[in-house]
Amino acid sequence: MAVELSEAKGSLKATAEELGITPQILTRWRRERVVTPGTPAVSRAQVSQEQQEIIRLKKELKQAELDRIAEATRYLKKGGRHLLQERREIFRFIKAHQREFPVETGPPVRICKVLLVSRSSYYYWLAQRPTKRASENEAITQLISSLFTSQ
């Protein structure tokens, strides 16, 4: 009740003098108070095990969200130059770096989300075989390279 009175008045010192207690005691009571919306304020000692578990889980969830943001930032740092590339370049980047970002739902899930490509497109790209034209181009490129290096 003293804590609510001090908050209503806005002056900690005036409330403490009015109640005949020191401002330090009132400050400590304010610090120890736990406020849950829709319920009266209680001290930390009176908070039930379940409420303490809820508070702990909320903190844990907040930390997990921060970890996810940090991981997404890591993707962006590594993939920044690839973000403006063609999809094939993005898929090559994902394939090259998927082991660096292990997650429980499969390696490319988060990295695909961060790089804004669908997983199905990535898996389709992985399953594709080179076209006849691409194979011919690769053979010609290798021939030219071998001729150039032999001279």
Does a structural domain hold residue 112?
yes
Q: What is the mean pLDDT of residues 5-27?
A: 79
In a domain, 143, yes or no: no
Residues 10 and 77 reside in one and the same domain: no
The full 3-state SS of 29-66, as one line of letters, equals HHHHEECCCCCCCEEHHHCCHHHHHHHHHHHHHHHHHH
Tens digits of residue pLDDT in 89-109: 888 888 887 777 655 456 577
Query: Same structural domain for residues 29 and 88?
Result: no
Overall domain count for the chain:
2
pLDDT confidence of residue 43 = 56
Distance CA 41, CA 25 (A): 17
Based on the domain organization, do 70 and 25 belong to the same domain? Answer: no
Share of the chain above pLDDT 90, in %: 9
**Cα–Cα distance, 14 to 98 (Å, whole number):** 62
Cα separation, 103 vs 4, in Å, equals 47
Q: Is residue 64 part of a domain?
A: yes
| Shared domain check, 120 and 63 | yes
Domain interval for residue 78: 50-127
Is the pLDDT at 37 greater than 50? The verdict is no
58/42 same-domain check: no
Among 12-16, 42-46, 99-103, which stretch is predicted with the lowest mean pLDDT?
42-46
Q: Are 26 and 16 in contact (CB under 8 A)?
A: yes
Query: Do 73 and 112 sit in the same domain of this protein?
Result: yes
3-state SS class at 93? helix
Question: What pLDDT score was predicted for residue 44?
Answer: 56
Q: Quote the Cα angle for 140-146-150, to 5°.
A: 150
